[in-house]
Structure 1
């Protein structure tokens, strides 16, 4: 599946682009003039049911034998003064369904100060985003690659970079795809990096993930405290991510 935001194209123009890629179906949201515009594609054969869409989002349910799940493409309002509309919408979407949920897109906001390079970011902006994410029960999918997904293209002291493109999921989605990982691809022609989600259900050659349980024996085991420390360093400031990383370190 492919989600593109800020296409700056009408739905008709975007459909013309899609016809050049054989094997895909999709839907589009018109740009407003040459601002915004969304499109969501899926491979033919995937049962993808449309739920709703508007200028800042597209919402679908994927039908599978193993159980349905939900995918939302999200584009946050660019202007800081309108960010509260983004978080209001995110909360509304979060209440729409109890299905396993993945929300992917450009949120035009960062969660933590270490997700930016150059310039300054107001703490209240990050706090508001974090509160909305917590209210929706969402957590980050761990990523590989360069830390920042947007670059303003300026040189030297005027350069600004940040991580505003991300994939967030609820715990039910993680249970379906326990080995999911996100890759930040190289930035080529855009000011944004493309991000690629690999939604593996099991490790290569493995039998799937067993649910993590803390073993009392780890308390006195040499190296267990160091393993937890490494997990929290890798997980950053997000508690759920840090705990998941710590669990993997302890089981390694």
Structure 2
């Protein structure tokens, strides 16, 4: 199982150049051959065609460097990944519930939403809470771990890449490659939702871009410390959250100032009676629906994790109660307490911020 040979003169010149430059192979792991012509039986050719070399000083700078020959999928050549350092394990934090785009169309998702609405007891807040719990249970027992499935299928492809080709192995490999492509599409949707790169359409195999964009946004927006009103530096998630909560509580609290009418004396009215009539008329159902359809489906949701996509997809189920609740609040009735809760997101406007 060797590839085509080179003229001896070329190989001698190559070896001479390697020796004079003091080059050596970067430590590697993976299958022994990086190229496969994809033919069957005796026509199959495999060889170590792709490699990386370095100098001894470079290895001293990167003692843990390793070249990984990954499994071929679409190309005759195996992709090569150069890893320079050991992966550092960071702190794992629990993630809040989020309704995912990849769930839409999955078997059982619709039924989980229907169960949640039915158990909500005719109250929108209760319906959303029950939907969240039903979706979490459905996700736990039914949703496939896309990343794990991709890796599992790639491991099967890697085994099929080794050894001599047969018609059966070629057929199985094509099927696995198609399945990996579909799983990659689902993974791309997942990272697109987190990257906030909503201006870029999915379906173009941009998973790596979306992943990097999400990681970049996370690093850029991370706040390590904040200084409170007393000048004390607060570090850690809980302490930083307390500083932010105190700031916004003070910002949005009133000191109940008096004589507000005196401030308006002398100001000329700009709103006509006709304009005022339009502004004061009662809201209607079609306005609620219009506002919902104007929402970006993947913009950041509130504490309940339900984004615009959830409401737009399951409007026939949840819509009537949404309309009833929204119109009730707009017409002067009391808003449920949980509807006034929100996520406070601190977005840095400069590098390494320490004050709000």
Higher relative contact order (CA 8 A, sep 6+): 2
Structure with greater helix percent:
2
Structure with greater strand percent:
1
Larger radius of gyration between Structure 1 and Structure 2 = 2
Q: TM-score, normalised by structure 1?
A: 0.32
Q: TM-score, normalised by structure 2?
A: 0.23
